[in-house]
Amino acid sequence: MNYLYQYEFEDAKTAVTTFFDVYVTEQNFQEILRIVEAPYSLIFVPGYTDRTTLFRARPTTLYLFMFLERPNGMVTPVYYWAHGIESLLIDRRGVWHNEDRVARDIVMSYVQEEMTSRVNSGIPLYYGVGVGDPPDYISILGIEPDRIIPFEFSGEQYFLWYFTSPVPFGEILSENIDITTHFALAEVIELLNIRVAR
């Protein structure tokens, strides 16, 4: 977000809409979740990516925007990242099984621990997204998410799940799997006892 980082905006909606207009395509602003701990706020917004995967043009993506609130009431975007919903930007499989998707999302949340802990009293957020209606049950190490939020985007159903409470996922991952090398999602599923029931 180098282009936007140097600017102040009157609100997050204006900043995100500007980002979409400049970097992606014109889209409506749709906030799914906002987590705030002054002076930061983290906003989850669905959108498209202009990159086409092997199986789908412009796949739906979850964008996470970190904002810094200025003393004058304006906000500055300080960081953003894209989190694939239907696929990862580099994914070529096109199909994700429920447990695979949760394992993938835990690893991606782990990568963003330093950033997400800024809005949660130093506790990293773990989160993930899925396609369709929410499952009956998601658990990681026998722990269920704090909340599951269904949402609609571009006529399709999705859901977001997240943990704000302290969970040991990152610590266990760092002790057992080097995510900078090749690893299998099956290893993460087994290590964290990931279960999804529909």
Q: How many domains does the chain have?
A: 1
Cβ 125 vs Cβ 162: under 8 Å: yes
The confidence score (pLDDT) of residue 176 equals 96
The confidence score (pLDDT) of residue 182 equals 87
Per-residue pLDDT of the chain (198 residues; tens, 9 = 90+): 444 556 888 888 888 887 777 665 556 789 999 999 999 999 999 987 655 444 455 678 899 999 999 888 889 888 989 888 876 544 555 556 889 999 999 999 999 999 999 999 999 999 999 999 999 999 999 999 999 999 999 889 999 999 999 999 999 999 999 998 888 999 999 999 999 998
Amino acid letter for position 149: I
The confidence score (pLDDT) of residue 33 equals 97
The confidence score (pLDDT) of residue 16 equals 83
Strands in 75-84's sheet, in edge-to-edge order, are: 33-37, 40-48, 60-69, 75-84
Closest to 78 in 3D by CA, of 98, 64, 57, 99: 64
* Domain residue limits at 115: 2-197
Rg of the chain's alpha carbons, rounded to an integer? 17
The confidence score (pLDDT) of residue 55 equals 47
The confidence score (pLDDT) of residue 145 equals 98
Cβ 74 vs Cβ 60: under 8 Å: no
Distance CA 75, CA 141 (A): 37
Cβ 92 vs Cβ 53: under 8 Å: yes
